[in-house]
Structure 1
Amino acid sequence: MRNYVFGTGIVSALTGGLALLRAMREDEPFTWRVALAWLSWGITLALAIGAIVDTRRARHGEFVAPDSPVSGKEPKLSRAARNIS
């Protein structure tokens, strides 16, 4: 579980979100640039969560979409999971 929670994608998304929250506290006006920053953060978080889900599926031998970064690495991830357990 800690491999998923402390993955670099999730950590970077959370630190980016914290930076955006700090910027909102400084009473700056909400402009289109801020809206794009929040949209970008949401996309980054969604991609990080998607990578975690795909990695988990690959380790358990389930179907992984062909456009996933872990597509084609399922046997390797499955063997690594068996060696850890």
Structure 2
Amino acid sequence: MRQYIFGTGLLSAITGGITLLRALRNDEPFTWRTALAWLSWGITLALAVGAVVDTRRARRGKVISGDSPVSKKQQKLLKKRLS
């Protein structure tokens, strides 16, 4: 579980969210640029969590979709699990 929590994708998404939260503390108005930054952060977080889920499924031997970046490594992860 530790390898998933400390993955670079999740860490960068969390630090990006912290940066956005700090920007909200200032008395700046909420503009369309701020809305786009939050949308971008949400997409980044969703992709990072999706990569973690795909990696976990691949390590357990379950089939993952072909559009996942982990699908190419699925056979390698399965062999590592079996040994």
Q: Indicate the TM-score class for this superposition, using the shorter chain for normalisation.
A: over 0.9
Partner of 1:19: 19
CA distance in 2, matches of 1:35, 1:82: 46
Structure 1 gap segments, 5+ residues each: none
Partner of 1:37: 37
CA distance in 2, matches of 1:25, 1:81: 46
Query: Amino acid of the residue matched to residue 31 of structure 1?
Result: T
Using the size of structure 1 for normalisation, the TM-score is 0.92
Deviation at 1:32? 0.2
Percent identity of equivalent pairs: 67
Deviation at 1:74? 1.2
Partner of 1:49: 49
Equivalent residue pairs, number: 83
Give the CA RMSD over aligned residues.
1.0
CA distance in 1, matches of 2:59, 2:44: 23
Using the size of structure 2 for normalisation, the TM-score is 0.94
Structure 2 gap segments, 5+ residues each: none
CA distance in 2, matches of 1:82, 1:21: 43
